[in-house]
């Protein structure tokens, strides 16, 4: 094994005095001394060509070194410090807490990607050596297991930092990170990343707690923006841990999710809301009721409903739809009788915004989620019929583009409303019938870019609404449509009316 080049570069021969080489008994084994010196070199943030050269030498050193020399006399703490120093060397450049935007993929980030690819190769060689050392009689699992336990969390954080397309990654660094994560999962005897983090069964503790322990100091109010990768590592890791394991770590994951969602930048809000949604879906309701956690999350989400970004509103509404049942069950168990529920409050605000909304992107988001709120309230939707009717009439009147997402969503909303609040429909029959017939005519005569399948879906939805209105009004729709059918010459419209008249 040729180590002389690297040893001389690190000045490991020892001090000289008057031409005589002092050779005191070594305080630590040679391998530990080499690795300590390398760790000290990379613990400094500043990079440069000398470090890149040392990295290449380190890859060769680890690959050529004998396992007994490399691991036999090295403490797990020394290898842990080396991995941590290399991880810091490959991390994206720090940024100011109040930086408005992540830098673009400039030279600094390009250099980070190159460093990450080189460091990833070192980690791959190191893991391969650890796997080989398990089978050696003089080392085996008793020596390898403590080292692996010390380095697996920093290795995971490195892989999660560089595994996806980010400003500080490139194809090479992503490929190395994916290979490293796969090798790490195999080395720990797990079948997947999720199993590595949560454990093989509910009684076994995985590595998620230890990973969150390393991330914890970077996920505080004052530090979470300094490292641009931290929020991505957290949001990429969290979905890997599901029910029933996630409830054990609720105190670790809920505060940072709320913190990220409370940021002023929309992309961070969306990231935080998605983390909150995963927590709501994978933590028992009883745990969310404790310490008013569910109410805290509800207020954080409700405040986002005043935002104007369609992606954020969509994420918030989907999250609220899964949180509202938890809140309502808690109120029932506490025997709290309220004239309105949290679902009423959300729907009231949504309908207020829908009435005045003119941007098509937001109109589509609102219309897609509105049927779920009607289903959620059931017969209690009668509380909102006056405002809901205005929204339905306004949205049926306006074409929203080739896919007609808003109109299709509103037609589904109208169907749900008729099914749940049918006793209140006969008095609204004149305005609803007029609006549906006008929409059918507009769709039939539309010469725009709306595809034929979309037109067919609109006409089918309108026909189903007319059939439901006819049922709840005891056949009044059939009577009113007789004159329209006899005077209409358009076959497509006559077909819609015929379906209503033939329905029994």
Q: What is the pLDDT of residue 423?
A: 92
Residues of the chain with pLDDT under 50: 1-4, 7-22, 25-29, 46-47, 49, 99-104
Would you list the DSSP string of 208-243? HHHHHHHHHTTSSTTTTTTSTTHHHHHHHHGGGS-T
Q: How much is the pLDDT for 326?
A: 93
Residue among 196, 175, 194, 176 at smallest CA distance from 186:
196
**What is the predicted pLDDT for the residue at 301?**
97
Cα 293 to its chain centre, rounded Å, is 20
The 8-class DSSP code of residue 135 comes to T
Fold of 338-504: 1.25.10
Helix 30-42 and helix 49-64: axis angle, to 10°?
A: 150
φ/ψ (deg, to 5) at 17 = -135, 110
In the prediction, which pLDDT does 266 show?
Answer: 95
Nearest 5°: the CA angle 483, 485, 488 is: 105
pLDDT digits (tens, 9 = 90+) for 104-152: 456 788 889 999 999 999 999 999 988 888 877 667 788 888 989 999 9
d(C-alpha 212, C-alpha 245), whole Å: 14
- Give, in order, the Cα–Cα distances in Å from 360 to each of 63, 401, 410: 59, 8, 13
- pLDDT in the model for residue 335: 61
84 burial class (0-12, 13-18, 19+ CB within 10 angstroms)?
A: buried
The Cα 185–Cα 102 span in angstroms is 31
pLDDT at position 3, please? 47
Residue 271: the pLDDT is 97
Residue 379 DSSP one-character state: G
> What's the distance, CA 262 to chain centroid?
15
* pLDDT score, position 50: 60
The alpha carbon of residue 107 and the mean position of all alpha carbons in its chain are separated, in whole angstroms, by 28
Distance CA 199, CA 411 (A): 46
Taking only the tens place, the pLDDT of each residue in 223-281 is: 898 889 999 999 999 999 999 999 999 999 999 999 999 999 999 999 999 999 999 99
Q: How far is CA 190 from CA 180, 199, 210, 285, in A?
A: 14, 8, 16, 30
Q: Contact, 467 vs 490, CB < 8 A?
A: no
């Amino acid at each position: 094994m040729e180590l002389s080049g690297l040893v001389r570069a690190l000045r490991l021969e020892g001090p000289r005095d008057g031409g005589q080489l002092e050779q005191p008994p070594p305080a630590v084994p040679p391998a530990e001394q080499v690795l300590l010196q390398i760790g000290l070199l990379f613990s400094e943030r500043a990079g440069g060509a000398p470090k890149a050269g040392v990295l290449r030498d380190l890859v060769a050193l680890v690959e050529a070194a004998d396992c007994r020399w490399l691991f036999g006399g090295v403490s797990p703490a020394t290898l842990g410090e080396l991995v941590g120093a290399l991880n810091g060397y490959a991390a994206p450049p720090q940024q100011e807490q109040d930086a408005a935007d992540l830098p673009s993929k400039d030279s600094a980030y390009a250099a980070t990607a190159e460093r990450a690819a080189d460091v990833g190769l070192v980690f791959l060689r190191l893991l391969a050596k650890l796997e080989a050392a398990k089978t050696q009689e003089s080392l085996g699992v008793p020596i390898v297991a403590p080292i692996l336990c010390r380095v697996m969390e920093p290795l995971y954080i490195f892989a999660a930092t560089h595994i996806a397309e980010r400003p500080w990654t490139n194809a090479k660094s992503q490929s190395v990170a994916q290979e490293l994560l796969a090798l790490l999962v195999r080395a720990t005897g797990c079948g997947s990343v999720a199993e590595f983090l949560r454990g093989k069964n509910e009684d076994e503790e995985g590595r998620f707690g230890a990973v969150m322990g390393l991330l914890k100091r970077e996920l505080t109010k004052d530090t979470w923006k300094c490292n641009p990768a931290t929020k991505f590592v957290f949001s990429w890791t969290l979905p890997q841990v599901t029910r029933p394991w996630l409830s054990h770590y609720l105190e670790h994951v809920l505060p940072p999710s709320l913190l990220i969602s409370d940021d002023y930048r929309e992309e961070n809000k969306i990231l935080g809301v998605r983390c909150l949604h995963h927590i709501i879906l994978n933590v028992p309701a009883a745990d969310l009721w404790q310490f008013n956690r569910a109410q805290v999350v509800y207020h954080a989400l409700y405040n986002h409903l005043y935002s104007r970004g369609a992606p954020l509103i969509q994420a918030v509404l989907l999250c609220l739809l899964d949180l509202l049942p938890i809140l309502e069950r808690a109120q029932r168990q506490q025997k709290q009788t309220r004239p309105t529920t949290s679902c009423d409050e959300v729907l009231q605000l949504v309908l207020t915004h829908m009435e005045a909304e003119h941007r098509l992107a937001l109109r589509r988001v609102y219309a897609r989620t509105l049927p779920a709120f009607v289903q959620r309230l059931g017969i209690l939707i009668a509380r909102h019929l006056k405002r809901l009717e205005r929204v339905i009439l306004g949205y049926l009147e306006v074409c929203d583009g080739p896919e007609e997402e808003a109109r299709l969503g509103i037609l589904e909303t109208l169907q749900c409303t008729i099914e749940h609040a049918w006793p209140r429909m006969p008095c609204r029959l004149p305005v609803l019938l007029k609006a549906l017939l006008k929409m059918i005519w507009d769709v039939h005569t539309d010469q725009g870019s709306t595809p034929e399948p979309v037109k067919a879906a609109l006409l089918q939805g309108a026909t189903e609404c007319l059939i439901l209105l006819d049922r709840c009004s005891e056949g009044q729709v059939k009577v009113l449509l007789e004159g329209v059918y006899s005077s209409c010459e358009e076959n497509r419209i006559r077909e819609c009316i015929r379906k209503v008249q033939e329905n029994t």
